[in-house]
Chains A and B, each alone.
Chain A
Amino acid sequence: MDLKIGDVTLTSRLFVGSALYPSPAIMQEAIRASGAQVVTVSLKRQAPASQGGQFFWDLIKDLDCHVLPNTAGCRLANDAVNVAEMSREIFETSWIKLEVIGDDYTLQPHPFELVKAAEELVKRGFTVFPYCTEDLILCQKLRDLGCPVLMPWCAPIGSGQGLLNVFSLKTLRTRIPELPLIIDAGIGKPSHAVEALELGFDGVLINSALALAHDPVGMARAFAQGVDAGRRAFLAGPMEPKNMAQPSTPLLETPFWAGGGS
């Protein structure tokens, strides 16, 4: 049931974000309840000597999770590379969730800038977790550049719409069996996470679905169970669907047998 990314082994397949929670205390409680071992963080410009960054960083360190900084807000490869460098220095990790946005309306990743940034960051020794679309060729390119994991969206960030393009996601899983695939954006409910894991995806990253739930802590527990159920179902091998009814009770010689059954 473990998930290996590079030389790190994770027992939880749920990655969580740290934004949008009603309060810092609820953020901490929800992340703990989720059982996640990876939590995403970001950077912002702030007036010198302000203590806000320190306060937040202490909260995150207290969770004892792997920290996955993102490059949110970047639209150019060079900006993303510099944010990654600043993140590496602050958070003391070479992990980077590479986000390079190409469209403000959909927050769709910019494939060309993403590839450019990924190539440079891999050269600089980063472990790149690219936030990407489910486009097969893009994902193959990111794999070939040395990304050890891919993070395709299943729907726009924060939309909570679930797996909109199951065909392409299945294709991705089939054509890239050798890398961990983590659904990064668009998950809204635990059932979406179950579906992703049942399809063979290795994990999900969620933020809004937890933070915007009426009860983030309760939802975190639900997601933990959903991810676990989905993974177990994938490993157990779901039955093939059929077009017509198939009786589950053996019919031959049942009382009053007349060719039907349940």
Chain B
Amino acid sequence: MKLTLNGKSQFFDANPTLQEVLESFGQTGGPFAVALNKEFVPRSQYATVRLNDGDQLDLVVPMQGG
């Protein structure tokens, strides 16, 4: 199945959890947050939310702002 991660296509086995996708990129700690199809997903739900073909995943981190 295909996911769009921060604007780039990525391919995964069928319906991984969000936690599994993040771990596959080594993204297990640090300051970041996730939106799935433009909707915020709380960290507490990473292990239970399953992803589907065509989903759009955005990972954000802190940056400078005015």
Known: A49-B26, A82-B35, A85-B40. A44 touches B66 (CB 8 A): no
Name B61's closest neighbour in chain A (CB-CB). Answer: A53
Q: How many residues of B contact A (CB 8 A)?
A: 27
Sorting the interface of chain A by its residue count into under 10, 10 to 19, 20 to 34 or 35 or more gives: 35 or more
Q: Mark A100-134, 1 if CB is under 8 A from B, else 0.
A: 00000000000000000000000000000000000
Q: Mark A80-91, 1 if CB is under 8 A from B, else 0.
A: 001101110111
The distance in angstroms between the C-alpha atoms of A182 and B26, with both chains bound, is 41
Known: A49-B25, A89-B42, A89-B43. A44 touches B63 (CB 8 A): yes
Q: What A residues does B60 contact at CB under 8 A?
A: 43-46, 83, 86, 90
> For A48, A79, A82, A87, which residue has the most chain B Cβ atoms within 10 angstroms?
A48
The reply on A225 being an interface residue by CB < 8 A is no
The reply on B9 being an interface residue by CB < 8 A is no
The reply on A168 being an interface residue by CB < 8 A is no
Residues on A facing B (Cβ under 8 Å): 17-21, 27, 40-54, 56-57, 60, 69-70, 72, 78-79, 82-83, 85-87, 89-91, 157-158, 205, 207-208
13 more A-B contacts (CB under 8 A) besides A47-B6, A86-B33? Answer: A18-B66, A41-B64, A42-B66, A45-B6, A45-B59, A48-B6, A48-B32, A53-B32, A70-B65, A72-B65, A78-B38, A79-B38, A90-B33
